[in-house]
Homo-oligomer: A and B are copies of this chain.
Amino acid sequence: MNKTSVQPNDSSAKSADAEPREPATLGALDHYIGFNLLLAQNASFKAFKRRSGEHALKPGWFGVLSLINDNPGITPMSLSRLSGRDKSTMTPVLRDLRHAGLIARGETVGDKRSYRLTLTPSGVEELKMLAEHARRHDEDLDAVVGDRKEEFLAMLRSVAAYFD
């Protein structure tokens, strides 16, 4: 019957302070896709951060470098949309990547506001290393979802696509 409405602690005829100690439950949240999505992404990202953090590599760099690699000449705006982050979030990341010599800016043809990004040779090398961490991380994820990977990916893409 999938009860979703709030039932304020209808612990039958028990006055005030129960003591659930550690057998605590997710309760109503357990049936929410949104909350489980949050928990899964959170756990996964923290694990990835641990992995790449061991080598002093910023985990956020991987996505940006990979997107530039697969879309040479991409603009910051386009990068922002693809990665789902706000455009203002890109600014410091791109600045750092440029100062680290991993990406280069190129002029745009007919738009003086924007610029185009490409990887430098160092950027390619850095991406290779980060991609190795990402590959190992995603192998773990592959193992967890087993043979339903494509179905899982399809559902995740649907969710992302639904909320523009």
Contacts and interface: CB of A to CB of B under 8 A. Distances in A.
Interface of A: 4-6, 8-9, 11, 16-20, 22, 24-29, 31-48, 63, 66-67, 69-74, 78, 82-85, 106, 109, 116, 118-119, 124, 127-128, 131, 134-135, 137-138, 140-142, 144-145, 148-149, 151-153, 155-160, 162-164
A33 B149 contact: yes
| Copies of this chain in its oligomeric complex | 2
Contacts of A40: 37, 41, 156-157, 159-160
Which secondary structure dominates chain A's binding surface? helix
Contact of A134 (B34, B137, B149, B155): B34
A57 to B, nearest CB: 14
A43 B162 contact: yes
Contacts of A47: 163
29 contacts: A4-B138, A6-B124, A17-B73, A17-B106, A17-B116, A18-B72, A20-B71, A20-B78, A22-B78, A24-B78, A24-B82, A26-B70, A28-B70, A29-B70, A32-B138, A34-B134, A34-B141, A37-B40, A39-B157, A40-B156, A41-B41, A43-B84, A43-B160, A46-B163, A140-B162, A144-B159, A145-B158, A151-B151, A152-B155
